[in-house]
Amino acid sequence: MTGTRRKRAVGAWPQRPWGQLAWLSAGRAGGLPGVRTRRLARAWELVSGLTKRLFLTSPYRMRHNEGMPKVFDYLLLGGGTSCAYAAVQIRSLDSNGTIALLGEESEPPYDRPPFTKYFLWNDEKNIDDFHSKDESFYPQNQIELLLGKRAVSIDRSAKTIRTEGGESFQYGKLLYALGSEPRRLSIPGGDGAWVLRTAEDSARIRRHASSGASAILIGAGYLGAELACALVGRGCSVTLIEAGQRAWPLFPSETVSKSITDELQAKGVRLVAGASVTQIENGRTVFTEDGQRFEGDFIVAGIGAFPRTELAKASGLSVRKGVLASAQLYTEDLDVFVAGDVVEFPDSNLGEQYRAEHHLHAKATAEHAGRGMAGEVAEFREPPVFFSDVGDLSMNLIGYPERAARTWSLKNDDPSIVTEVYAFEDGRAAGLIDLRQDWKAQEPLLEVMKSLILSRADLRRVEDLLSRPGFDLASLSEFAGAE
């Protein structure tokens, strides 16, 4: 009849191709033999899945459903080093899942260590020379970069991230990897001191660090020491002010700390130790508690950092020193994983909670979390590794020397080399610190100590060997394997 909708009889052959596939795979062809087959069912799954994916991710959907969140199977929050390395692992295990990296910086993920040294040494180097992955990696692997977007909230019940610009993004699995925020000087005029955290921070310093410029650096930790040597190498006059009595005042090896202090002074850095900064004027003048005054063209403060846990805490996730995670690096919300500077987890090597801030630790935890997000969940057991390059010296540290109860200083033929082996109270291998110019010679030592830590080797059994002059630590690889 005219004006009425025609109804198809039950069991009739559908007119549209996708309807025909559904009809066949559902076994509605009047009992014809072989119609309801696995092949047809699989064909229907593929077609419907493809149609759904094209619809959900098409420009048409985004244009005609304004205000609706864009949906990703994996959303990596932070946009930095951790996100890049997590994305690699996710894609290696899940070739079809949608992945996006969301971060507030305008640059794709980059490795941070070069920006306190290599980038500053060479004006010909660009920021993209230190990107974690080549720019072609993301489009080739269908990974979307959501750059220049600051996340302001996480709604875990709706599995949605909201940005400062009012955009919303929905996730299946979330990686929380917001990293750390530099500490600022809480003194009069403290906002006149720059900080160094991002590539753009480093680029600003490089623009002002022309030959003959004078710089005042506050804090002689990892960052301050590396930056001081880099600026001296550019021809700058550098004053490095430290409240402690030497460079790297909190470092677990006093011997290494003293060697770093000597290296800084040998390179021409003016180290002012035991001085607390009380005031800054006009971003150029520094006053200390003992009455000293220092003038410079610019000031940089490197006094540590704190993990960016505020969004996690506001979303209801548990936070202590960092965002609390399991040994598998997921939170109490099984769809939220954590990596990098912010993750605090039960470390079975240490026997207690652990959190660390360093590039290699961020990379290792991110790779592990990425595999977990894609379904390969396992305990994270990698001992932390740290490195620092100050002048001509390379320092490598693995494990937990700061928690050790026993130390052996190996007697090297070269007195400039410092190698220290650490053990816990029960004799188990705790870690290694090595300082020398040849960084390549440090790699096998790190591998041996990693094996000793993971095998829970009792170093008391080789105490005599560790005390022998010229003992080769690499020879303990068999001992580690025997444990």
SS3 52: helix
pLDDT at position 478 is 75
Strand partners for 98: none
- Percentage helix, strand, coil for the chain under 3-state DSSP, each rounded to 5: 35, 25, 40
SS3 93: helix
Q: Length of the chain in residues, anyone?
A: 483
- The answer to whether 147 touches 108, Cβ cutoff 8 Å, is yes
Per-residue pLDDT of the chain (483 residues), as tens digits, is 444 443 444 444 445 444 444 434 444 343 334 444 444 445 545 554 454 444 444 443 343 345 678 999 999 999 999 999 999 999 999 999 999 999 999 999 999 999 999 999 999 999 999 999 998 999 999 999 999 999 999 999 999 999 999 999 999 999 999 999 999 999 999 999 999 999 999 999 999 999 999 999 999 999 999 999 999 999 999 999 999 999 999 999 999 999 999 999 999 999 999 999 999 999 999 999 999 999 999 999 999 999 999 999 999 999 999 999 999 999 999 999 999 999 999 999 999 999 999 999 999 999 999 999 999 999 999 999 999 999 999 999 999 999 999 999 998 888 889 999 999 999 999 999 999 999 999 999 999 999 999 999 999 999 999 999 889 898 888 776 554
What is the model's pTM?
0.85
pLDDT at position 42 is 52
Query: What DSSP character marks residue 241?
Result: E
Dihedral Cα 317, 323, 328, 333, nearest 10 deg:
10
Helices 38-57 and 17-25 cross at an angle (nearest 10°) of 140
Q: How far apart are CA 401 and CA 430, in angstroms?
A: 6
pLDDT at position 98 is 98
- The answer to whether 193 touches 218, Cβ cutoff 8 Å, is yes
- Convert the pLDDT of each residue in 291-346 to its tens digit: 999 999 999 999 999 999 999 999 999 999 999 999 999 999 999 999 999 999 99
pLDDT at position 413 is 80
- Convert the pLDDT of each residue in 392-401 to its tens digit: 999 999 999 9
Helices 81-93 and 359-373 cross at an angle (nearest 10°) of 30
- The answer to whether 403 touches 428, Cβ cutoff 8 Å, is no
- The answer to whether 8 touches 14, Cβ cutoff 8 Å, is yes
Q: How far apart are CA 465 and CA 340, in angstroms?
A: 37
pLDDT at position 475 is 87
Query: What DSSP character marks residue 217?
Result: E
429-436/214-218 β-pairing: unpaired
- The answer to whether 162 touches 155, Cβ cutoff 8 Å, is yes
pLDDT at position 46 is 53
